[in-house]
C-alpha cells in the first residue's frame, strides 16, 4: 500500500500569529517544519516502498528542487485550490484524499513511525489515528458555526443529535479501502465552505478546519455505515499519548506532533535530534542546502554539541531496551539538581538543558514523585509503592499507572536531565 503526504504551500507562507494557522507549518521556527517534513518522509520510507507527495508548483520547488526530500513520486495537483482562503489549510489534504483511486495511507508531515502500521488497520474500509469524543476544542468553534453559518451539512447535525455530543476522528493518519468515501467528503466540504464563504470572517477558521475535515468525516462515515478503525485507543484531549518522543522506541513507535506540540521547544529539539541521529547523511545535506538557499543564521542548530551527545547516548541506550528493562533500571536525581525543603514545601532547582535557564519550581502533583529519586530507585519499586497508595490513586487509574510512570521518568531523564539512569550500558 502506498503512503501519501500533502503540502499546500499557501498556508505555510501566509504570515499569521493565529495559533491555529499553518504559518511555517505551525512550527516554532521554519527549520523545524523542514526537519519534520524530512523526518516524516524518511521514517515512513523505512517501512513502505512508496511514499508520494501531492503539492503545488511552489511546494514542489521548495521540498523537492531545493530541499531534496526523497519522495518516490511527486504529483503537482494543488494549484487548483489557490483561490481558497489560506487559513483553510486542511483543504490540501481533502483534495489529496479525493484524488486517490486505490487504497492508501495519508500521513501528516508531523507524524513519525518506528514500526509499520498494522495491516489489519490499513486494509480496513476506513481508518484514522484515534477517535475524538467531546474534545473541548470543538465545542466553542462548533457553536460559532451554528450561530453564524447559513448552511450546515445534514450529516453533521444528525451526528450531534444521534450521539448527544461531538464525535470526530483524528486524521494524523487516515485512509483505507473505501476511496469513494473521500470523494464524498470533498463534495461536502466544498459545499460547506462555499455556501458560507462570506461568513468565514465571523469564526475561528483555524479550528474550523478540524470541523470540516475530522468531524464531518466521522459524520459521513456514520451516515453511510462505514466502520472506522482506529490505530490508537484511549487518547485524551491533551494528546499526551501521541507526543512521547521520550519513550521511543521501547514503548512508543508512533509520534504525532499535533497542534500545540509544534510550538514546544522540547518537540522541536527532538525532531532535529532524531533526524540527525537516524539519518545523519541526509541531515547534513539538508543543512547545507538550507545554508545555500536561506539566511544561514536562521538555520543554525539550537542544540549544543554536549546536549546532542547526551541525546545520542540515550537514544543508543533505549534502542535495545524493552519496557521491562526500563522498568528495572535504577534512576536517581541528577547531582546538578537540588531539592530544597522550605516551609513544609519542596522546591526543585535545575537548569533547563535547551535554554540553559535556571528554574526553581515547587514540587506539586506528579512532580512530587521526584522526592523518591533522592535515593536510587527503579520504576518497578516506585510502582509497587504508589499502586498501594490510596491517596495517590484518587487521581490516577491503577491500570495505566505503570505506563504513566515510565513516561514521567523518561520525560525527566531525556527532555529535562533531572533524572539519570545509574548506568547507560
Domain assignment present for residue 208? The answer is yes
State pLDDT tens for residues 166-190.
Answer: 999 999 999 999 999 999 999 999 9
State pLDDT tens for residues 101-121.
Answer: 999 999 999 999 999 999 999
Residue 340: the pLDDT is 96
State pLDDT tens for residues 122-139.
Answer: 999 999 999 999 988 888
Domain assignment present for residue 285? The answer is no
Say if residue 14's pLDDT is above 80: no
CATH number, domain at 145?
3.90.550
What average pLDDT does the segment 151-164 reach?
96
Residue 423: the pLDDT is 67
pTM of the model: 0.93
What average pLDDT does the segment 177-205 reach?
97
- Distance, in Å, from the CA atom of 256 to the CA atom of 110, rounded to the nearest integer, reads 6
Residue 381: the pLDDT is 94
Domain assignment present for residue 374? The answer is yes
Strands (E), 190-261: 228-230, 254-256
Greatest mean pLDDT among 217-226, 295-304, 380-389 lies in 217-226
Say if residue 49's pLDDT is above 70: yes
Say if residue 212's pLDDT is above 70: yes
Average model confidence (pLDDT) for the chain?
92
Beta strand 330-333 pairing with 419-421: antiparallel
Tell whether 226 and 328 lie within a shared domain: no
CATH number, domain at 385?
3.90.930.50
Partners of 113 in the β-ladder: 254
pLDDT tier for residue 297 given thresholds of 50, 70 and 90: low
Q: Report the run of H or E that residue 46 belongs to, with start and end.
A: none
Q: For the chain, what is the domain count?
A: 2
CA distances (Å), 316 to each of 42, 274, 414, in order? Answer: 19, 12, 12
Domain that holds residue 356: 304-425
Amino acid at each position: 500500500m502506498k503512503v501519501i503526504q500533502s503540502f499546500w504551500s499557501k498556508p505555510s507562507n501566509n504570515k499569521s500569529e493565529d495559533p491555529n494557522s499553518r504559518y511555517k507549518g505551525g512550527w516554532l521556527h521554519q527549520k523545524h517544519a523542514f526537519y519534520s517534513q524530512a523526518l516524516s518522509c524518511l521514517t515512513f520510507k523505512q517501512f513502505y516502498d512508496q511514499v508520494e507527495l501531492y503539492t503545488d508548483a511552489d511546494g514542489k520547488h521548495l521540498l523537492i528542487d531545493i530541499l531534496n526530500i526523497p519522495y518516490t513520486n511527486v504529483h503537482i495537483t494543488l494549484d487548483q485550490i489557490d483561490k481558497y482562503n489560506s487559513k483553510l489549510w486542511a483543504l490540501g489534504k481533502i483534495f489529496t484524499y479525493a484524488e486517490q483511486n486505490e487504497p492508501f495511507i495519508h500521513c501528516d508531515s508531523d507524524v513519525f513511525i518506528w514500526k509499520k502500521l498494522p495491516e489489519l488497520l490499513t486494509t480496513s474500509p476506513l481508518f484514522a489515528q484515534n477517535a475524538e469524543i467531546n474534545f473541548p476544542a470543538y465545542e466553542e468553534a462548533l457553536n460559532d458555526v451554528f450561530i453564524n453559518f447559513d448552511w450546515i451539512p445534514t450529516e453533521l447535525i444528525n451526528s450531534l443529535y444521534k450521539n448527544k455530543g461531538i464525535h470526530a476522528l483524528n486524521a494524523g493518519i487516515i485512509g483505507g479501502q473505501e476511496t469513494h468515501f473521500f470523494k464524498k467528503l470533498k463534495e461536502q466540504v466544498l459545499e460547506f465552505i462555499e455556501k458560507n464563504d462570506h461568513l468565514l470572517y465571523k469564526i475561528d477558521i483555524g479550528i474550523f478546519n478540524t470541523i470540516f475535515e475530522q468531524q464531518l468525516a466521522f459524520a459521513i462515515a456514520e451516515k453511510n455505515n462505514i466502520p472506522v478503525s482506529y490505530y490508537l485507543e484511549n487518547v485524551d484531549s491533551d494528546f499526551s499519548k501521541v507526543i512521547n518522543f521520550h519513550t521511543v522506541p521501547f514503548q512508543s513507535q508512533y509520534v504525532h506532533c499535533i497542534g500545540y506540540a509544534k510550538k514546544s521547544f522540547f518537540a522541536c529539539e527532538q525532531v532535529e535530534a532524531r533526524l540527525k541521529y537516524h539519518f545523519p547523511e541526509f541531515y547534513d545535506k539538508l543543512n547545507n542546502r538550507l545554508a545555500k538557499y536561506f539566511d544561514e543564521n536562521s538555520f543554525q542548530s539550537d542544540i549544543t554539541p554536549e546536549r546532542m551527545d547526551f541525546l545520542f547516548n540515550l537514544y543508543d541506550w533505549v534502542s535495545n531496551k524493552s519496557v521491562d528493562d526500563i522498568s528495572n533500571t535504577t534512576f536517581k536525581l541528577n547531582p546538578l539538581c537540588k531539592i530544597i525543603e522550605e516551609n513544609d514545601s519542596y522546591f526543585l532547582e535545575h537548569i533547563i538543558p535547551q535554554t540553559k535557564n535556571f528554574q526553581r519550581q515547587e514540587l506539586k502533583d506528579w512532580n512530587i514523585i521526584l522526592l523518591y529519586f533522592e535515593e536510587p530507585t527503579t520504576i518497578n519499586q516506585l510502582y509497587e509503592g504508589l499502586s498501594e497508595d490510596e491517596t495517590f490513586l484518587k487521581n490516577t487509574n491503577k491500570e495505566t499507572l505503570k505506563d504513566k510512570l515510565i513516561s514521567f521518568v523518561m520525560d525527566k531523564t531525556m527532555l529535562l536531565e533531572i533524572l539519570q539512569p545509574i548506568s547507560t550500558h
